[in-house]
Amino acid sequence: MESVAARRLLLLRHGQTTYNATRRMQGQLDTELSEEGVAQAERVAAHVGRRERDIRRIVSSDLSRAAQTADVVGRVLGVDVERDSRLRETFLGQWQGRTHGEIDAEYPGQRATWRHDATWAPPGGENRVEVAARMRAVVDELLDDDSWPGSTVLLVAHGGAIAALTASLLDVPVSHYTMFNGLRNTAWVELTARPRPDGELGWYLGAFNAEVFGEETGEESER
């Protein structure tokens, strides 16, 4: 029988990279944190260390920018970090490594289409629905962990992937997936799963794009 205790889920975006700072699309390129990104990770880790006492598991994308951020948080909390490649950012195909201006010049109008249609993918890349499916598979597996009810799981990942997962968990229609966008560096999403009257779990949004109050945490997400 399903436990009545709530499961809390935090989705944290990685710190800034030089690609973020120069508005260059990363996708699944393995970029590392900038000096500012390391400082952001340290600030959010200190905040989490003060405010979050019940994080039992941390699972991170295996891309360096997320893994580095997760490791900083894990050290503060004393929690080992697990890696999962399914938490990677959207694969952006031919757009990876290019600036917004370069993409707009070669693919006019396509970034706007991508922003507004979750079923549309960049040339050779993934769409939001595909990203949400692989991200959600991680959460579904974590639901089998009997230690989760009454505690918190932290996933450290990427802006686009977190937005897609959030829409999926909230059962948002695919036509409205793109309402979730613009996650800042080291900002987070807070979700809680509680049993519904029919016995199934329902996910509820507590915060989106939350960040350390009074601190500069980086640019909006452009993957």
**Is the CB of residue 154 less than 8 Å from the CB of residue 10?**
yes
Catalytic residue among 36, 47, 89, 126: 89
b/e code 140-175 from CB counts within 10 Å (16+ = b)? eebeeeeebbebbbbbbbbbbbbbbbbbbbbebeee
**Is the CB of residue 9 less than 8 Å from the CB of residue 139?**
yes
14 has catalytic annotation: yes
Q: Is the dihedral of CA 62, 65, 66, 69 positive or negative?
A: positive
Q: Is 218 helix (H, G, I), strand (E, B) or coil?
A: coil
89 has catalytic annotation: yes
Q: Which amino acid is at 206?
A: G
Residues annotated as part of the active site = 14, 89
